[in-house]
Structure 1
Amino acid sequence: MVVKKAMNKTKSSKKHAGSPEFDSKSKESEATNNNPGLLEPWTPSPGTAFKLLMSVRLCAALWNGISDCDETYNYWEPAHYLKTGKGFQTWEYSPVYAVRSYAYILLHVVPMRIFTTILGENPILVFYMTRCLLGIACASAEILLYRGVTKLYGPNVARLLLVLLLFSAGMFISSAAFLPSSFSMYLTMVAYGSWFIGNSS
């Protein structure tokens, strides 16, 4: 009797093993084992994240006002002077003191002149196009950081980072600001993103 029951169990297991339902389940389990990423939570792709960040940064460039007087008189005004040959000069840029350098401003004067060539002598358009360019640069740096965090720390941390970048008031203000601190922020995100991607490979 015991031998017959064992033989019946063996036959039934073979019958189930050959059934389509059993084969599909085994294939699903094999696919899950071969692709552990199927079990990971959903995270926006870099392309989707870039579109979201780009939308927010362009909104900041167009709608956010200049909240720092230093940005106006120490960066926009000297840039206007270098571009048009006229404008105010603060004491930091005076040859008597020479506290600040024009090098950072010249990086922005070049695209300003390109925009002037394309759009004509319209200072308002040049102003907003320059701010949009800063927003694009910020979004590009952010997406590199996002990719690095995704690879090194996983999708949960990357998703949280994306939410913080999108809804942070500080990022909204500083992303399109014509300030060296914003430029340093771009480079810091690029450095950390590249470092994280390199460590995860």
Structure 2
Amino acid sequence: MATFPIFFSVNLVASLLNHIDDTDEPYGYWEPLHYLVHGHGMQTWEYAPQNAIRSYSFLLPFYIFLSVIKPIVTHKIVQFYLVRLLLALFTSFAQSRFISTLSAHRTLFPPMVSKITTVFILGSPGVLLSGTSLLPSALCSSLLLLGVCSWIDGG
């Protein structure tokens, strides 16, 4: 986990500076999360009862997180950045766990593999942009890293 501070530094900057790339993130996830937490907002057509093509289950952990901090942090912009910070923490954990798993299995991976992988992760714009996005695909990439770690560990 020696790489965690490096990954977290990069993801922290990304959480503060990244823009929202497409309409799916604000209208598909931020707006419904705002509606759940604050009780008002725009209902998007994907969540409307007559369509109901999206589930609120992806938003549940973020709803719980915001419900816990809402009495303390009332400013909505700060809540937005705290959710991004939570995503940055989880992404950084998954990335550093992946590197430490590669380092721990020297019989499978030469020592240079973990170093090169660290450079590739840090230098990848896609990883930088997706690490703090409130999108299922972004969270899935971190979960996939943890799944690969478990597979390599034999668990």
TM-score normalized by the length of structure 2: 0.93
Deviations 1:94-153 (A, max 9, x none): 11011000011111111112222222x100110001100000000111111112222231
Structure 2 partner of 1:145: 98
- Aligned partner (choices 23, 26, 32) of residue 78 of structure 1: 32
Pair 1:123 & 2:76 matched: yes
Q: Greater RCO between the two (CA within 8 Å, min separation 6)?
A: 2
- Aligned partner (choices 154, 163, 180) of residue 110 of structure 2: 154
Structure 2 partner of 1:192: 148
Question: Any idea what SS the aligned residue of 1:93 has?
Answer: coil
- Identity value in percent: 36
Gaps of 5+ in 1: 1-45
Deviations 1:37-56 (A, max 9, x none): xxxxxxxxx32x11100000
Pair 1:68 & 2:22 matched: yes
Structure 2 partner of 1:168: 124
Deviation at 1:191, TM superposition (A): 0.4
Greater CA radius of gyration, 1 or 2? 1
Pair 1:133 & 2:89 matched: no
- Give aligned pairs, total: 152
Structure 1 partner of 2:4: 50
Structure 1 residue ranges (4+ consecutive) displaced by more than 3 angstroms after TM superposition: none
Per residue, is there more helix in 1 or in 2? 1
